């Protein structure tokens, strides 16, 4: 069928149907059938744009349907026909052949549909809905076509119509508003009867309908019609019809104005459906047309002026539906056309959104709610707030829209004295939407990570700041930052100006915004464009008679553009910027400047500037006369005209011109006094006209992309109010969805704060969150746990705050204290895992140590784990066992299901928080954040320290100390940051504790853990670490006694694991100080001696740095009676064996390159050896015979080992004086003063001492004989021998000593003689040694001289001397026979001569003893 119909020409097929439709003799059903047939033809795609004569056909169809006539038989059939009319017209526009319709056809169709819409109010609801739907679909279909229209082909020929022409079109009355339909004609819109398409009540049985005629309402734009416009209306439809339709829809918003009804009052009598319908259609047109409006100037001008002016009016409507639709339209306009509507958007936000949103301007709650919803929709646009800030807050000529919106949202989110309402939630949503938008842009890049500071080094006219390219962020971002800096400074200057004009100008000069020498132009621009200035002060300044002020006034007037303005409008615009002074002379000067500027720009009617001045005066007088309530007799129009005769250079002004001014002033007052306060002004006609003129010169609207150019500036301004608002709403809200929204907002703020390194903001955020957690009372144990499990807010806040701590801990500072407060609460409630206070290095370090065969250092930590956990059990079952056993007398209660759930939720929440990660991952924290965390732990742990005692809350201090040690160990690579604070904290604990307790125990052993872990890695602070162990020496005696065994074990592990890392003398001094104490401690001595053996055995870890210290400790162990005699003997052996190290170091020292270094090393080694021999010397006086005698043997080994050390000779003299002679003197004193019980066999010890003296003297005789003080040394030896012979032990002289001393001296004299040291001489002086020797010998053994030096030597003695000289060892190889089997001692403790000879064997000397 469709193919057969396509073969025919449509014009031949359709006339029958069209005639029926036009006929007024057909009934409604028949007309309906004809309309249905036409509709079917249109929808079956029989007609398309390529069909023959399709244009004529569509023209006929539209004409027929819009001229439809029928006889009404019943209301139902009438509505059916009207529905079919709508159906056919919509099919015409939506069909493929619609492109053939002309502009006139489209206008006719829209008019017809609207008439049906308007009259459907008296019909059924179905018709009303279909009519409105059809109208909206028509508008959508028409404006959807706008995107495909080429501006150059389809625009009006005179498409560059001026804004004034468009504005004047508003005064034209449309046929829709003024036409009448009676017996086939339009009814008046003012009639009581509703408009009905072609329906009129009459006595006739046939009722005709005339929907439209050629004189269409849309097409008539006035009495004068441009022929070019008429021609364009016959062309295929495009921009011309869209202009007409859009203008028609805008004109529907003027119904209230035409009817004299204020849409902002509560007395709206007209049907709000009309403006609501128009707004909905306009919104559809903008949605479909989108950015295409920008390509068509006439459409754009309608939006910029007529539409927006009406939107400003209906934005103050009391109807929430109307207000909502207005906001929706503006949102679409912002989305598509923001670049063309900069000042309009500013005006809408300032005069509508910000005004209605506040109840102080009389807006209802419903209005405020609608506006807040709209504002939130704007905020959800990702770049909205950025663009508000860039285009308005950074423009000195615009208001701070961003700042005002931010203040509005933050204030509206606070439920001050009222319960939480939807407005509070909406405001919060807006703030969070802005924050989330900023958070999403993080990482998308910006021009620079840091803002370059803006500074004015020299004066530059701030109003001449230019941007090279508003499309290039590299240009406009620095430009707006600089402009914002200027605006901020201008605002400060305005504040100074309002208090003192002179100081205000001086401040601006100081900031280089005004020149050092003021010029009129700069001051004029400051007064003109700076917001916040006191308008009274501006008026007084401009009206001043001072010459400079007069020049400023002239420049001020020249900042205005009065082109195409009427005089009264220009005067309104001029006087809105300041308050007109009250003095007549000042008024004259001001109006004179205004008149001169106005005449220069608008000389069309006025003959000269004097005419403008006189007329301006008349306008001011008329304004005062008409609007002053004190004036009873008002000036009439005739009076005003008469007063202004002959002022135009002797001629009269046109009556219409003067009359228009009169009515304008009477209708709208010129306000010469500023509005009180700094609120948001109402849009007046004069302000709107000024805005439209200003929009031609304003800077372009800057469109921001999705990169974070100025997000830092926005966030700094928003963060504080937003955090406070979210916190208050979260506190007052009961809805879990609102709670989650608040938490999302907190996380977004935290992310932004961390990205921009805003530590203060992040700290404030943490404080706000923690206050929801710290309300728990740890003293009410079970109650708090249950409350935490049941409290959704507390659990959500907990998860959020620890999420922030784990993600953004780098930028938390003082907030760590609050986070730690929360952790301590959970610790006291037993909700934390026991391993929280363990350091991450534990497992890895233990594995490493055991792998190297070193002892596990974790044993002590595990021993004291009970101090790391709460005293209460933290297990869920044990909790309930506590809950069940509240008292022996109380009945045991079973926990309810709700309590079980609460406990489970509490534990799950803590598990999700990953609190342990804060400390185990602290090694990744930035240095400053780590320091604040450590300080927080120190402060929290230090609180229980009160005076010299530990408070009851010791568990908290122990817990904080463990965490502090944990982060110290986890940050070994930068322990220097933490060490000072950690050490001071532990030091305070140690020094303030007088009784053993868990806290001091953890402090001491925590210190050892730190040293044990860090020594292998931090050589640069080895001394610092070891110095810290000196705190152990400061422990109170009772505390030290309780823990010293464990302390020594820790020292043992420390030294064995890190001996190779301890290099300095200071470090070893600390270790040896600790070991020296263990020598006197019964429990600790064994472990301490084990450490000493580890260090000194075979010299494995002996160093020049620790040699003297270790020898001293070994002496203390040798002297100590805590252990067995064997330990003292081993200690002496350790000392004696250490001489090998000295010999090795001495040999190594000789290899040094520099002679000075060799000398210094040998000198140091000599000092160490001297300290070595002093050690056994003190033990030689021990009461225990075995120890005492072994000390002499050790001393002997030390002297023997000195052969390879190359000691300086002078040192030997010191050694004899301070070691050998001293020990003999002490022994002799002991032998005489003490009983046998105190010092058993002291006589045998003296024998050993004398042997030692003789051996050492003979061993080093050659070196000693070269000394100048040899005589003194020899005299000392003889005198001590003499003392030993004469000493009385137990009241009698010792036979052993009397026998031993002569023999020892005889051998010594023989060696001295053989070496030529002791030579016979009869003189004195140089040979005084001879006389000195025999002087003492007379008291010891007088016969020795004759034995050693007979007058004639025997052959045997000569041969022996020759053999000694031949051996070349000067007596060291001489053989001296000793009678065998002769005993020196009498008991088992005595020493035989065989033993003496054996002792001398190491010197290769055989002692020969003759008869005494």
Which residues are designated catalytic? 583
**HSE-up (13 A, CA, CB side) for residue 156:** 20
**DSSP for 156-195?**
-TTTT--HHHHHHGGGSPPHHHH---SSSSPPPTTSSSPP
**Among residues 971, 931, 933, 926, which one has the least CA distance to residue 754?**
926
∠ CA 1386-1390-1394, nearest 5°, is 110
Within a 10 A sphere around the Cβ of 580, how many other Cβ atoms? 21
Number of other CB atoms surrounding residue 656 within 10 Å: 8
Kindly state the tokens that stand for 674.
Answer: 């500023």
Structure-token pair, residue 227 = 């022929």
Contact in structure between 929 and 813 (CB atoms under 8 Å)? yes
How far is Cα 1408 from Cα 1412, in angstroms, rounded to an integer? Answer: 12
Task: Return contacts of 927-932, CB within 8 angstroms, 24+ apart.
Answer: 927/974, 927/977, 928/813, 929/809, 929/810, 929/811, 929/812, 929/813, 929/816, 930/967, 930/971, 930/974, 930/977, 930/978, 931/977, 931/978, 931/981, 932/812, 932/813, 932/814, 932/816
- C-beta neighbour count of 650 within 10 angstroms: 9
| Tokens encoding 497 | 């100006």
For the purposes of burial, counting CB atoms within 10 Å of the CB of 244, is it exposed (0-12), middle (13-18) or buried (19 or more)? buried
Which ranges constitute the DSSP H helices of 519-608?
520-529, 535-543, 547-557, 567-575, 584-601
* Angle of helix 584-601 versus helix 609-627 axis, rounded to 10: 120
CB atoms within 10 A of CB 1389: 14
In angstroms, rounded to a whole number, what is the distance separating the alpha carbons of residues 384 and 435? 12
In whole angstroms, give the CA distance from residue 872 to residue 829: 8
Burial of residue 516 (CB within 10 Å: 0-12, 13-18, 19+) is exposed
CA atoms within 13 A on the CB side of 1229: 7
Angle at 36 between CA 34 and CA 38, to 5 degrees: 70
Rounded CA-CA distance 1275/1269 in Å is 10
Residue 244's nearest CA partner among 311, 330, 306 is 306
Contact 1346, 1285 (CB under 8 A): no
Q: Which of 680, 745, 698 is nearest to 719 (CA)?
A: 745
Roughly how many angstroms between the first and final C-alpha of the chain, as a whole number? 165
How many beta carbons lie within 10 A of that of residue 1186, not counting itself? 13
Q: Taking Cα atoms as reference points, which of 967, 1054, 937 lies closest to residue 1004?
A: 1054
Compute the half-sphere exposure of residue 297: CA atoms within 13 Å on the CB side of its CA.
12
């Amino acid at each position: 069928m469709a193919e057969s119909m396509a073969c025919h020409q449509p014009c031949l097929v359709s006339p029958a149907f069209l005639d029926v439709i036009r006929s007024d003799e057909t009934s409604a059903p028949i007309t309906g059938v004809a309309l249905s047939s036409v509709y079917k033809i249109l929808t079956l795609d029989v007609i398309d744009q390529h069909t023959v004569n399709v244009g004529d056909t569509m023209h006929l169809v539209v004409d027929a349907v819009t001229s439809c006539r029928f006889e009404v038989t019943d209301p139902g059939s009438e509505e059916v026909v009207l529905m079919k009319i709508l159906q056919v017209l919509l099919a015409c526009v939506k069909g493929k052949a619609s492109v053939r319709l002309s502009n006139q056809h489209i206008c006719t169709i829209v008019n017809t549909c609207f008439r049906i819409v308007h009259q459907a109010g008296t019909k059924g609801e179905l018709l009303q809905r279909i009519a409105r739907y059809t109208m909206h679909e028509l508008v959508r279909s028409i404006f959807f076509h706008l995107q495909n229209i080429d501006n150059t082909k389809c625009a009006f020929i005179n498409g560059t119509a001026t804004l004034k022409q468009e504005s004047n079109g508003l005064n034209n009355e449309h046929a829709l508003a003024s036409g009448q339909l009676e017996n086939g004609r339009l009814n008046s819109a003012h009639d009581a009867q509703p408009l009905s398409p072609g329906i009129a009540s009459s006595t006739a049985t046939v009722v005709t309908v005339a929907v439209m005629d050629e004189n269409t309402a849309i097409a008539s734009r006035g009495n004068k019609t441009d022929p070019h416009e008429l021609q364009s209306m016959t062309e295929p439809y495009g921009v011309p019809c869209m202009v007409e339709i859009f203008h028609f829809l805008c004109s529907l918003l003027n119904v209230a104005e035409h009817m004299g009804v204020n849409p902002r009052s509560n007395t709206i009598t007209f049907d709000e459906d009309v403006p609501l319908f128009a707004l909905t259609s306009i919104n559809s047109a903008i949605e479909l047309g989108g950015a295409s409006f920008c390509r068509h100037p006439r459409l754009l001008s309608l939006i910029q002026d007529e539409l927006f002016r009406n939107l400003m009016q209906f934005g103050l409507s009391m109807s929430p539906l109307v207000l909502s639709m207005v906001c929706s339209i503006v949102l679409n306009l912002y989305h598509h056309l923001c670049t063309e509507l900069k000042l309009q958007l500013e005006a809408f936000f300032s005069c509508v959104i910000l005004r209605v949103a506040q109840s102080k301007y009389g807006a209802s709650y419903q209005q405020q709610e609608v506006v807040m919803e709209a504002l939130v929709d704007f905020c959800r646009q990702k770049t909205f707030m950025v663009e508000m800030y860039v285009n308005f807050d950074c423009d000195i000529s615009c208001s701070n829209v961003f700042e005002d919106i931010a203040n509005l949202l933050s204030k509206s989110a606070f439920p001050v004295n009222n319960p939480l309402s939807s407005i509070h939630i909406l405001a919060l949503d807006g703030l969070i939407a802005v924050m989330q938008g900023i958070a999403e842009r993080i990482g998308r890049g910006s021009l620079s990570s840091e803002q370059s500071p803006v500074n004015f080094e020299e004066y530059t006219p701030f109003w001449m700041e230019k941007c090279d390219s508003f499309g290039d962020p590299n240009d406009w971002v620095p430009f707006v930052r600089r402009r914002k800096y200027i605006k901020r400074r201008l605002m400060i200057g305005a504040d100074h100006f309002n208090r003192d004009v002179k100081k205000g100008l001086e401040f601006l000069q100081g900031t280089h915004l005004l020149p050092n020498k003021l010029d009129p132009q700069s001051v004029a621009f400051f007064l003109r464009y700076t917001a916040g200035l006191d308008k009274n002060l501006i008026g007084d300044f401009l009206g001043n008679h001072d010459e400079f002020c007069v020049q400023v006034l002239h420049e001020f007037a020249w900042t205005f553009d009065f082109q195409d303005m009427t005089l009264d409008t220009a005067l309104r615009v001029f006087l809105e910027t300041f308050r007109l002074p009250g003095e007549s002379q000042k008024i004259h000067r001001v109006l004179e400047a205004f008149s001169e500027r106005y005449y220069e720009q608008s000389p069309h009617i006025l003959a000269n500037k004097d005419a403008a001045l006189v007329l301006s005066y008349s306008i001011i007088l008329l304004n005062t006369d008409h609007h002053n309530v004190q004036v009873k007799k008002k000036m009439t129009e005739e009076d005003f005209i008469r007063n202004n005769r002959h002022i135009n250079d002797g001629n009269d002004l046109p009556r219409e011109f003067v009359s228009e001014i009169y009515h304008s002033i009477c209708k709208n007052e010129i306000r010469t006094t500023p509005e009180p306060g700094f609120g948001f002004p109402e849009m007046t006609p004069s302000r709107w006209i000024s805005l439209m003129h200003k929009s031609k010169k304003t800077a372009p609207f800057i469109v921001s992309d999705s990169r974070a150019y100025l997000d830092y500036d926005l966030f700094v301004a928003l963060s504080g109010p937003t955090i406070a608002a979210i916190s208050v709403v979260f506190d007052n809200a009961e809805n879990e969805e609102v709670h989650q929204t608040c938490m999302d907002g907190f996380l977004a703020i935290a992310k932004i704060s961390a990205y921009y390194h805003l530590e203060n903001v992040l700290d404030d955020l943490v404080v706000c969150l923690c206050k929801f957690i710290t309300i728990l009372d740890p003293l009410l144990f079970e109650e708090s746990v249950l409350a935490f499990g049941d409290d959704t807010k507390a659990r959500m806040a907990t998860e959020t705050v620890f999420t922030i701590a784990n993600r953004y801990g780098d930028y938390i500072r003082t907030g760590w204290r609050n986070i730690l407060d929360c952790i301590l609460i959970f610790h006291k409630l037993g909700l934390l895992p026991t391993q929280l206070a363990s350091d991450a290095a534990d497992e890895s370090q233990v594995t490493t140590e055991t792998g190297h065969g070193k002892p596990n250092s974790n044993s002590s930590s595990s021993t004291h784990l009970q101090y790391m956990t709460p005293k209460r059990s933290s297990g869920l079952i044990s909790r309930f066992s506590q809950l069940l056993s509240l008292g022996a007398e109380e009945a045991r209660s079973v926990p309810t299901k709700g309590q079980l759930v609460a406990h489970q939720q509490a534990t799950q929440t803590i598990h999700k928080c990953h609190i342990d990660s804060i400390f185990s991952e602290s090694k990744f924290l930035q240095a400053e954040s780590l320091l604040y965390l450590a300080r927080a732990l120190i402060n929290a742990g230090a609180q229980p320290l009160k005076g010299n005692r530990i408070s009851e809350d010791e568990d908290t201090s122990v817990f904080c100390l463990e965490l502090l040690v944990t982060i110290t160990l986890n940050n070994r690579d930068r322990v220097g940051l933490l060490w000072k604070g950690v050490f001071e904290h532990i030091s305070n604990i140690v020094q303030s504790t007088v009784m053993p307790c868990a806290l001091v125990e953890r402090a001491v052993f925590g210190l050892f853990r730190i040293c044990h872990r860090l020594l292998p890695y931090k050589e640069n602070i080895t001394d610092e670490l070891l110095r810290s162990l000196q705190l152990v020496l400061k422990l109170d005696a009772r505390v030290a006694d309780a823990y010293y065994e464990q302390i020594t074990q820790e020292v043992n592990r420390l030294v064995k694991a890190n001996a190779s890392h301890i290099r300095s003398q200071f470090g070893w001094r600390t270790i040896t100080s600790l070991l020296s104490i263990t020598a006197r401690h019964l429990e600790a001595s064994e472990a301490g001696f084990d450490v000493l053996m580890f260090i000194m055995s075979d010299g494995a870890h002996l160093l020049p740095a620790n040699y003297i210290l270790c020898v001293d400790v070994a002496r203390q162990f040798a002297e100590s009676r805590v252990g067995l005699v064997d330990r003292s003997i081993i200690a002496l052996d350790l000392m004696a064996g250490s001489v090998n190290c000295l010999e090795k170091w001495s040999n190594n020292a000789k290899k040094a390159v520099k002679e000075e270094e060799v000398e210094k090393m040998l000198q140091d080694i000599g000092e160490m050896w001297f300290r070595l021999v002093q050690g056994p010397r003190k033990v030689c006086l021990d009461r225990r015979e075995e120890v005492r005698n072994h000390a002499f043997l050790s001393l002997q080994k030390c002297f023997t080992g000195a052969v390879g050390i190359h000691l300086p000779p002078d040192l030997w003299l010191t050694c004899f004086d301070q070691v050998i002679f001293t020990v003999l003197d002490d022994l002799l004193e002991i032998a005489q003063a003490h009983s046998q019980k105190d010092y058993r066999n002291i006589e045998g010890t003296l024998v050993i001492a004398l042997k030692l003296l003789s051996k050492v003297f003979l061993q080093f005789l050659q070196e000693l004989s070269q000394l100048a003080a040899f005589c003194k040394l020899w005299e000392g030896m003889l005198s001590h021998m003499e003392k030993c012979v004469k000493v009385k032990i137990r009241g009698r002289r010792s036979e052993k000593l009397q026998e031993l001393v002569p023999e020892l001296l005889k051998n010594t004299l023989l060696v001295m003689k053989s070496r030529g040291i002791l030579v016979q001489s009869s003189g004195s002086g140089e040979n005084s040694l001879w006389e000195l020797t025999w002087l003492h010998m007379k008291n010891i053994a007088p016969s020795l001289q004759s034995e050693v030096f007979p007058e004639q030597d025997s052959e045997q003695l000569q041969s022996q001397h020759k053999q000694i000289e031949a051996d070349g060892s000067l007596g060291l190889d001489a053989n001296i026979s000793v009678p065998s089997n002769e005993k020196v001692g009498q008991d088992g403790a005595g020493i035989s001569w065989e033993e003496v000879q054996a002792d001398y064997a190491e010197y290769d000397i055989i002692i020969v003893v003759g008869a005494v």
